[in-house]
Amino acid sequence: MPSIGSTEQPRSGASGPTQRQITKVAIASIVGSIIEQYDFLVTGVIAATVWGGIFFKLHELAAVAAAIGVYGIGIMIRPVGAYIFGNIADRSGRRNAMVYALVLMGVSTLLIGLTPTYDSIGVIAPILLIVFRLAQGISFGAEFGTASTWVIEQAANSKYRGFWGAWVGFAIPIGLLLGFGSVVFVKSLMSPADFIAYGWRIFFFIGFVVAIVGLIIRLRTEDSFLFEGLRTNHQVLDYPARRVWREMPGRILRMSLVNAMFSGAFFLSFVFGTSYMKVVGFTGGQAEAIGLLAAAFMLVFMIIGAFLADKVSRRAVLLTAAITFLIFAIPYFYLINTHHLLLAAIAEIIGFGFVFGFGYGAIPAFYTENFPTRYRASGASAAYQISQVYGGGLIPIMAGLILKSVGVKHAFIYIGLLVMVYALAAIWAILATPDTKGIDIA
């Protein structure tokens, strides 16, 4: 297994970018990630409440299931985007890949907002929706690995490299807060009938406008100085995405176990958890308010985790979050089952806000620093996005099946045990992967 970038050097005589140059790349990298999280929340709400009735001529429950399925394929297709755009990033530059991905993201988001209903064009409507959602998912597959690589490499000589990398993670709570706020605001301006008729499309038009702003920012930002050094020294690979799978498959698969737990925690709380709280007896408004509170705490915990990742180590932060998830898996659901608003809020703040937020303060640095510059974007993207499928995508589905099979009274025990398996796998993977604090990633 090759060592991390031992022969790769930055530009001759370059001491590294200034803090202002690092900040510019950090801002450019965060834009697409904010759009991704905004889309995740908004699209999930709309798919569950609107798409079934206007795009599918099926029985009510079947239509909702079909709509959720279309939403889900946007997650399942992400590893394809990771491969395509990771390869572009490692061949043509991190900035170029981020620009292309944002163009695809903006166009596909706009087209979803413009897609006619089933009543207008028949079966072509759901077909178009699927095509545009696939394109959107492919573009999202590019974001984390390449964005993290871009900013981490730009901050390669900074002693706060973990903090700068965490900017990509900061987009998650920011995107969720923006998504929550926009849904509540738009719904307050119109009747439910108007929202279903045309109001839901507003979110996708907003996403398109924000993508244009992000595109302008990225076009005005330079590439990472480490990649420029690689290009200057003629060390760019012809097929980096293929090479990283051939040379470091064990590291990719092992590191995917880490984020499988974190993405599982995210989707379990935000996708399954909201429905679970409603089944227990909370109103939709109470569940959303608790989720909003947890998202705000998540941002605070993420900042703390990022600073500790630089001060102590990446692994210490990740292990703290993973062990908390392991211990708190069953108590999390037990507290929600009490139907006590304060206890449920505490459960969300710890099980979602702290576990995901604190651990994610170290995730961008941990993923990108474990791959050499020659195929860093490809490796980090692959490890991260495949975990989204069997972690974030699979856990809420399995939790839903368990809930349906054994009922709400006993489901939390079995769901908790399922979560603990993912937590144990993540702990093993963290311990088996070298800590990268202080290494020379050049």
Concatenate the DSSP letters of all residues of 6-67 into one string: TT---STT-----HHHHHHHHHHHHHHHHHHHHHHHHHHHHIIIIIHHHH--S-HHHHHHHH
Chain-centre distance of CA 222, in angstroms?
24
Whole-number pLDDT of residue 393 = 74
Where are the domains positioned within the chain?
Answer: 19-432
Whole-number pLDDT of residue 4 = 41
Distance of alpha carbon 195 from alpha carbon 300, whole angstroms: 33
Whole-number pLDDT of residue 337 = 87
Enter the pTM of the model. Answer: 0.87
Whole-number pLDDT of residue 7 = 36
Whole-number pLDDT of residue 254 = 96
Q: Could you tell me which residues come within 8 angstroms of residue 25 by beta carbon, excluding any fewer than 6 positions away?
A: 17, 150, 151, 154, 155, 221, 222, 224
Whole-number pLDDT of residue 398 = 82
Residue matched to tokens 């698969």 = 253
Q: Which long-range contacts does 4-8 make (Cβ < 8 Å, 24+ apart)?
A: 4/369, 4/370, 4/371, 4/372, 4/436, 4/439, 4/441, 5/372, 5/373, 5/374, 5/440, 5/441, 5/442, 6/372, 7/235, 8/226, 8/229, 8/230, 8/233, 8/235, 8/372, 8/373, 8/374, 8/442
Whole-number pLDDT of residue 135 = 93
Fold of 19-432: Growth Hormone; Chain: A; (1.20.1250)
> CA dist 411 to 268, 317, 397, 407, Å?
14, 30, 13, 6
Whole-number pLDDT of residue 345 = 92
* CB-based burial, 387-420: b 16+ in 10 Å, e otherwise: bbbebbbbbbebbbebbeeeeeeebbebbbebbb
Distance of alpha carbon 372 from alpha carbon 225, whole angstroms: 14
For the chain, 442 residues long, give each residue's pLDDT as a single digit of tens. 343 443 333 333 346 788 889 999 999 988 878 887 787 778 877 877 788 888 887 776 677 667 767 777 888 899 999 999 999 999 999 999 999 999 999 999 999 999 999 999 999 999 999 999 999 999 989 889 999 999 999 999 988 999 999 999 998 888 888 887 888 888 889 898 899 889 999 999 998 998 898 899 999 999 998 999 989 988 889 999 999 999 999 999 999 999 999 988 887 777 677 777 877 888 877 887 888 888 899 999 999 999 999 999 999 999 999 999 999 989 998 898 888 999 999 999 998 899 999 999 999 999 999 999 999 999 999 999 999 888 877 787 788 778 778 877 788 888 889 989 999 999 999 999 988 888 888 7
How many CA atoms are closer than 13 Å to the CA of 19, on its beta-carbon side?
3
* CB-based burial, 148-183: b 16+ in 10 Å, e otherwise: bbbbbbbbbbbebbbbbbbbbbbbbbbbbbbbbebb
Three-state DSSP state, 268: helix
Whole-number pLDDT of residue 380 = 95
Distance of alpha carbon 131 from alpha carbon 74, whole angstroms: 10
> CA dist 203 to 56, 102, 210, 343, 405, Å?
21, 17, 11, 33, 36
Q: Are 20 and 155 in contact (CB under 8 A)?
A: no
Quick: pLDDT tens for 238-282.
999 999 999 999 999 999 999 999 988 887 777 677 777 877 888
Residue matched to tokens 């990630």 = 33
Q: Are 314 and 162 in contact (CB under 8 A)?
A: yes
> CA dist 252 to 35, 143, 248, 295, 412, Å?
26, 17, 6, 29, 31
* CB-based burial, 227-262: b 16+ in 10 Å, e otherwise: bbbbeeeeebbeebbebbbebbeebbebbbbbbbbb
Residue matched to tokens 């195929």 = 375
Phi, psi torsion values for 327, nearest 5 degrees: -75, -35
